């Protein structure tokens, strides 16, 4: 594996001139080679200039060519599988199986978007034929398709070094839509990012696409990100990270002379509702299974179950007891970065030091420098409702159980929650009425509602919604996982009475692309 510590701008690899970025192996604290020097405004401008230059031809690539490009990226990533796993483990502390699985997911979603591109539904082709005889006014011939927004800025996430990073969901869906992508790689895993970035570079060259279709920048601090979002050529932003980071990008994007959409996936505590019959029938088993979800990936998932609600009583006590025992038995896991570990330790300490919160259990402490000790706490619904701080996400394997006086109080807590990525119901047949009472509230709070499962694990498919009301995301009208994510980077254009020679292929008579169309309001194909 040869890493050069360079920024990838189009087909070039260039050295930055700003502050050094060094990946740190969180399991050992060791700094990894090579050094990456951050880019500045000049590198942002160059990458955006190339992206803009590439846009005109890239957005009009044929469905087949664009799909092949996405598949070529997947193949190029697979060609460096071993290097990716090795470097990814060193940079993130994540285990081998997780990185291999995440690589599979990353390549799988590139291939899913290839299929989506070929199917062409995303074009949303509509045709209202001319009605020259209509009285009192004839109708013109009106056709619609969706086109790509323009160059897109993508911010790699710390917690998914592959699936939400350089070639992750945001990049895949933006490329699928026809948008060139400028990635700002996460400083925690620059080597993994370079490996993936070079795979995309090779795919661009192999497919004969203009080099500006993809660039990869690095930079510490917020300067480079703000410069990227402020660049007039950037037309949309994809981001996965903290609430403060996402909110800052939203403000920058809105303050531009031309405001642009920001798709930021930020903060969620993913409430789990233990309904009475389910809790009575299997409280202990639920407690054990819950901790399995809590500990996944050292709790470093956007969908980690950080809040559990039940009605106070023996059944909830049994759940808490079993969960507490599972927490006590939980081994320490290395967290992604020293910074994430420090923030987790602060969050855990704040919960433990909150007089309204009762500590139930802590997991084992580890020998490594940045290991996460699982935590479980309990508070009353009244105290939770009175203290906004208890709703704050603690990123890591800690959860808070809320004891509600009754179902009505559980409903009040649900109504008081901020926007969430997920809401989970644990229910048995006898809980159906209680669940029906909660569901309308949960639909307004979350992008995905689960029954008798756990929120961790996000399927990449057509029906998935990985999104939700603010602050879960900046835009609840979309998803960042699954095929519908392509719609974030498209806008409609209507063509009125255009001569056949000017019409885009997707809109030509006879439907040469063979895509599903809405003709006079009726679905065809």
- Active site residues per annotation: 265, 302
Q: Which is nearer to a second copy, 56 or 355 (CB)?
A: 56
Q: Which is nearer to a second copy, 27 or 449 (CB)?
A: 449
User: Which of 132, 353, 510, 521 lies at the binding interface for a second copy (CB under 8 A)?
Assistant: 521
Side-chain-side CA neighbours of residue 350 (13 Å): 18
User: Which of 12, 96, 365, 452 lies at the binding interface for a second copy (CB under 8 A)?
Assistant: 452
**3/9 Cα distance (integer angstroms):** 15
Residue whose tokens read 């109708």: 139
Q: Which is nearer to a second copy, 184 or 448 (CB)?
A: 448
Min dist CB 195 to a second copy, Å, is 24
* Binding string, residues 258-297; x marks residues near a second copy by CB under 8 A: xx-x------------------------------------
Q: Which stretch binds a second copy (CB under 8 A): 188-196, 226-234, 255-263, 395-403?
A: 255-263
Does the footprint of a second copy cover residue 449 (CB under 8 A)?
yes
User: Which of 144, 159, 165, 420 lies at the binding interface for a second copy (CB under 8 A)?
Assistant: 144
**51/49 Cα distance (integer angstroms):** 5
**335/297 Cα distance (integer angstroms):** 8
User: Which of 21, 450, 486, 506 lies at the binding interface for a second copy (CB under 8 A)?
Assistant: 450
* Close Cβ partners of 32 (under 8 Å, ≥ 6 residues apart): 22, 23, 24, 25, 90, 91, 191
User: Which of 72, 295, 483, 511 lies at the binding interface for a second copy (CB under 8 A)?
Assistant: 483
Does the footprint of a second copy cover residue 245 (CB under 8 A)?
no
**303/308 Cα distance (integer angstroms):** 13
Does the footprint of a second copy cover residue 303 (CB under 8 A)?
no
CA-angle at 388, arms to 387 and 392, nearest 5° = 125
User: Which of 5, 39, 283, 419 lies at the binding interface for a second copy (CB under 8 A)?
Assistant: 419
Does the footprint of a second copy cover residue 469 (CB under 8 A)?
yes
C-beta neighbour count of 364 within 10 angstroms:
14
* Binding string, residues 366-385; x marks residues near a second copy by CB under 8 A: --------------------
Q: Which stretch binds a second copy (CB under 8 A): 6-14, 309-317, 364-372, 459-467?
A: 459-467
Rg (CA), the chain: 25
Q: Which is nearer to a second copy, 280 or 488 (CB)?
A: 488
Extended strands (E) in 168-261? 181-184, 214-217, 236-240
DSSP 15: -
Min dist CB 402 to a second copy, Å, is 22
* Binding string, residues 56-95; x marks residues near a second copy by CB under 8 A: x---x-----------------------------------
Pairing assessment for the beta strands 490-496 and 142-148 based on DSSP bridges: antiparallel
Q: Which is nearer to a second copy, 149 or 401 (CB)?
A: 149
Of 289, 288, 358, give the one whose Cα is nearest residue 322.
288
Of 464, 59, 473, 483, give the one whose Cα is nearest residue 235.
59
Does the footprint of a second copy cover residue 415 (CB under 8 A)?
no
C-beta neighbour count of 435 within 10 angstroms:
18
Q: Is 410 helix (H, G, I), strand (E, B) or coil?
A: helix
Min dist CB 183 to a second copy, Å, is 22
Min dist CB 248 to a second copy, Å, is 13
Buried-exposed string 170-190: b where 16+ CB fall within 10 A, e elsewhere: bbbbbbbbbbbbbbbbbbbbb
Does the footprint of a second copy cover residue 470 (CB under 8 A)?
yes
Of 208, 178, 212, give the one whose Cα is nearest residue 53.
212
Residue whose tokens read 């699936």: 163
User: Which of 12, 62, 365, 496 lies at the binding interface for a second copy (CB under 8 A)?
Assistant: 496
Which tokens is 507 given?
């809109």
- The kind and range of the H/E element at 21 are strand 20-21
Residue whose tokens read 């809790």: 279
Min dist CB 492 to a second copy, Å, is 5
User: Which of 108, 406, 494, 512 lies at the binding interface for a second copy (CB under 8 A)?
Assistant: 494
CA-angle at 323, arms to 318 and 326, nearest 5° = 130
User: Which of 161, 238, 310, 467 lies at the binding interface for a second copy (CB under 8 A)?
Assistant: 467
User: Which of 205, 285, 342, 493 lies at the binding interface for a second copy (CB under 8 A)?
Assistant: 493
Phi-psi sector, 256: left (phi>0), alpha (psi -120 to 50), beta: beta
User: Which of 42, 79, 415, 463 lies at the binding interface for a second copy (CB under 8 A)?
Assistant: 463
Does the footprint of a second copy cover residue 446 (CB under 8 A)?
yes
Q: Which is nearer to a second copy, 210 or 375 (CB)?
A: 210
Does the footprint of a second copy cover residue 248 (CB under 8 A)?
no
Pairing assessment for the beta strands 236-240 and 152-155 based on DSSP bridges: parallel
* Binding string, residues 316-355; x marks residues near a second copy by CB under 8 A: ----------------------------------------
Q: Which is nearer to a second copy, 338 or 504 (CB)?
A: 504
Does the footprint of a second copy cover residue 439 (CB under 8 A)?
yes
């Amino acid at each position: 594996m040869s890493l050069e510590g360079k920024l990838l701008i189009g087909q070039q690899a260039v050295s930055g001139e700003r502050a050094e970025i060094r990946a740190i192996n969180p399991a050992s604290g060791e700094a990894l080679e090579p050094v990456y020097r951050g880019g500045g405004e000049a590198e942002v401008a160059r990458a955006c200039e190339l992206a803009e230059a590439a846009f005109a031809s890239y957005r009009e690539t044929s469905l087949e060519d664009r799909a092949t490009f996405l598949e070529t990226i997947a193949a190029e990533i697979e060609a460096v599988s071993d290097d990716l796993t090795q470097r990814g483990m060193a940079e993130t502390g994540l285990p081998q199986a997780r990185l291999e699985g995440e690589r599979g997911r990353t390549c799988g979603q590139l291939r899913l978007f290839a299929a989506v591109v070929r199917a062409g539904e995303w074009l949303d082709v509509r045709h209202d034929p001319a009605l020259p005889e209509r009285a009192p006014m004839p109708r013109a011939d009106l056709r619609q398709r969706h086109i790509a927004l323009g160059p897109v800025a993508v911010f790699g996430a710390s917690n998914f070094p592959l699936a939400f990073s350089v070639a992750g969901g945001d990049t895949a869906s933006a490329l699928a839509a026809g948008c060139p992508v400028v990635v700002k790689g996460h400083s925690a895993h620059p080597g993994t990012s370079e490996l993936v970035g070079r795979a995309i570079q090779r795919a661009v060259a192999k497919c004969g696409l203009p080099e500006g279709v993809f660039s990869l920048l690095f930079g510490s601090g917020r300067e480079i990100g703000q410069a990227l979002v402020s660049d007039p050529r950037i037309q949309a932003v994809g981001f996965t990270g903290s609430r403060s980071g996402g909110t800052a990008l939203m403000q920058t994007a809105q303050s531009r002379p031309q405001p642009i959409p920001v798709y930021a996936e930020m903060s969620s505590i993913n409430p789990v509702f233990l309904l009475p019959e389910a809790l009575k029938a299997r409280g202990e088993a639920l407690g054990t299974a819950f901790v399995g979800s809590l500990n996944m990936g050292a709790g470093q998932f956007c969908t980690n179950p950080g809040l559990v609600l039940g009605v106070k009583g023996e059944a909830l006590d049994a759940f808490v007891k079993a969960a507490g025992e599972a927490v006590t038995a939980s081994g320490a896991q290395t967290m992604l970065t020293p910074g994430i570990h420090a923030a987790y330790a602060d969050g855990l300490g704040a919960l433990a030091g909150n007089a309204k919160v009762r500590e139930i259990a802590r997991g084992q402490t580890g020998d490594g420098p940045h290991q996460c000790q699982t935590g479980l706490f309990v508070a009353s619904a009244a105290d939770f409702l009175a203290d906004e701080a208890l709703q704050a996400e603690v990123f890591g394997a800690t959860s808070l159980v809320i004891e509600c006086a009754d179902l009505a109080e559980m409903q009040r807590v649900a109504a008081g929650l901020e926007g969430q990525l997920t809401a989970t119901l644990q229910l048995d047949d006898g809980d159906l009425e209680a669940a029906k009472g909660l569901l309308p509230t949960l639909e307004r709070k979350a992008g995905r509602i689960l029954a008798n499962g756990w929120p961790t694990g996000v399927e990449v498919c057509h029906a998935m919604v990985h999104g939700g009301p603010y602050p879960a995301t900046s835009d609840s009208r979309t998803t960042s996982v699954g095929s519908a994510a392509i719609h974030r980077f498209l806008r409609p254009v209507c063509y009125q009475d255009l001569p056949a020679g000017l019409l885009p292929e997707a809109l030509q008579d006879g439907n040469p692309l063979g895509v599903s169309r809405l003709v006079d309001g009726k679905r065809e194909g």
